[in-house]
Chains A and B, each alone.
Chain A
């Protein structure tokens, strides 16, 4: 089946530093990837839609200068949390939508998530 990986699975960083999280579709191409943030015992909140070769579309209230998204290839999207602060600590999840059409266009495949802790 379709597999999406995220790296790292967890990271601890100091306040003020930047952290990059990778999202890879391992056995399919994904023109579109999504980045979510999940707080403890809460739902996934969509942060942005990442499209290969173009600028990401951010949801209302998400700072695009703080959460930099790059989707440079059909199998890789990165989320960089710049100048991280403790309030950025969260679980970040990506999903990838296969480029091929048909019924698979409804499918999104989710990565296992990355736990970010900012100290």
Chain B
């Protein structure tokens, strides 16, 4: 079946550090891939997406590349800020209706 695996948190970083959150998936066919972010007390927001192999999604300094050969979609940011503290979810889109399969989420804590 389809599944998304992402690294466990919490991940604690100092401001301006480099952030990587690993995400791998198993799926039939070629899904679209997403990263969502959930700030404290808020709903999930789409951070970035990639719809086909080798696509790179980017937003707010975050990047992720759709790697079909390694079935991965790792999230990276070169210099994190305290405001990046949140829970990050990797997800794949299963069908044209928009059903999403989520990873477990990774909490990121950035300290000043």
When chains A and B are docked, how far (Å) is the Cα of A115 from the Cα of B58?
Answer: 32
Interface segment, one of A13-21, A64-72, A74-82, A105-113: A105-113
When chains A and B are docked, how far (Å) is the Cα of A6 from the Cα of B105?
Answer: 22
Q: Chain B interface residue count: which class?
A: 20 to 34
* A14-33 interface code vs B (CB 8 A; 1 in, 0 out): 00000000000000000010
A112–B89 CB distance below 8 A: no
Q: Does B59 contact A (CB under 8 A)?
A: no
A4–B51 CB distance below 8 A: no
Q: Does B77 contact A (CB under 8 A)?
A: no
B43–A106 CB distance below 8 A: no
Contact of A32 among B32, B36, B98 (CB under 8 A): B98
Q: Does A46 contact B (CB under 8 A)?
A: yes
A93–B43 CB distance below 8 A: yes
B99–A112 CB distance below 8 A: no
Contact of B104 among A34, A42, A46, A111 (CB under 8 A): A42
User: What residues of chain B lie closer than 8 Å to A34, measured between beta carbons?
Assistant: 98-100
When chains A and B are docked, how far (Å) is the Cα of A42 from the Cα of B45?
Answer: 17
- A–B complex contacts, Cβ < 8 Å, 11 sampled: A32-B97, A43-B4, A43-B89, A43-B103, A43-B105, A44-B89, A95-B44, A106-B32, A106-B49, A112-B43, A113-B43
Could you list 10 further interchain pairs (A-B, Cβ under 8 angstroms) beyond the known A95-B44, A106-B51, A112-B41?
A4-B43, A32-B98, A34-B99, A43-B89, A46-B101, A97-B97, A106-B93, A107-B46, A108-B98, A112-B43
